Amino acid sequence: MFCLLLLMLPHLGNSVPIVQDERGAKIVGSNEAKEGEWPWQVSLRKNLEDPWKHICGGSLIHPSWILTAAHCVEGDKNDTSKYMIQLRQQNLYKDDHLVPLEKIIIHPNYTNVFEGFDLALLKLQSPVQLTKTIQTITLPEASQIFTPDMECWVTGWGDIAFGVHLPPPYTLRKVQVSLMDALTCDREYHQRSVLSAGRIIFDNMICAGETGKDSCQGDSGGALVCDVQNTWLQAGIVSWGIDCGAPHRPGVYTRVTNFVDWISQHIQ
């Protein structure tokens, strides 16, 4: 099954507006974010021939910690010098102030994106100062239930359509998406599909999006956030999908509620 999925998932994780990668996850059907919106959004950069290139998104969950997808950093998880963080920025590469990493922690059960343990913690070398435009996102309680009627958004600098890169000046994009539980999402993925008859979407995943509204290449690791009683909570981490905004193929996210205890053990 995994060989077949790899052939069908060209936007699995960390492709970028300028440097393309065959694994990668975009913002399709999006609008430009306003200045100051989504103050937890970060850009994960990698030294792919100077200058540092955007490869994934991420979220600031603590002054010293970034939450992102494991597949964004699995290739060089033991070499923090290969990565830097850019905090909330309206336009990529404009007035960069990159922050180095001290540590990379990948979830111990992660082997590939299809098993749902696609998350990693990045510790900054020094805590960042929170401002009006740089804020942390609140993590949910493990018992929090996210429902389809909630207002949820995903943000990033990824592709604006399948294979169509975000053009300069690379302005942060946002799109409102509808949530879908794992079982419903699994049924969607089996429609008009040659995938395995077995289950594909597991309980440690959550889906979001619809035809024409989705995350894509360059958005992996970014936050899916929902408004819960006037507080933004992070429900998911952009993980994988098939095409971008295709019918019956919503974006698949790591379900944060399944991992808040593991996250708390490290960031405390």
Assess whether 71 carries a catalytic annotation.
yes
Q: How far is CA 214 from CA 53, 84, 155, 160, in A?
A: 23, 26, 10, 9
Using alpha carbons only, what angle is made at residue 159 by residues 226 and 230, rounded to the nearest 5 degrees? 15
If you ran DSSP here, which 8-state letter would residue 19 be given? Answer: S
Asked if residues 23 and 5 have their Cβ atoms less than 8 Å apart, the reply is no
Spatial distance between the Cα atoms of 206 and 103, rounded to a whole number of angstroms: 27
Asked if residues 24 and 71 have their Cβ atoms less than 8 Å apart, the reply is no
What is the residue-wise DSSP string for 122-160?
EEESSPPPP-SS--PPBPPPTT----TTSEEEEEES--S
Helices (H), ranges, the chain: 2-8, 182-189, 260-267
Taking each continuous run of H as one helix and of E as one strand, the counts in the chain are 3, 14
Assess whether 220 carries a catalytic annotation.
yes
Choose the catalytic residue: 11, 220, 239, 243. Answer: 220
What is the biggest distance separating any 2 CA atoms in the chain, rounded to whole angstroms? 49
Choose the catalytic residue: 118, 159, 219, 243. Answer: 118
Quote the tokens at residue 7.
């052939």
* Residues carrying an active site annotation: 71, 118, 220
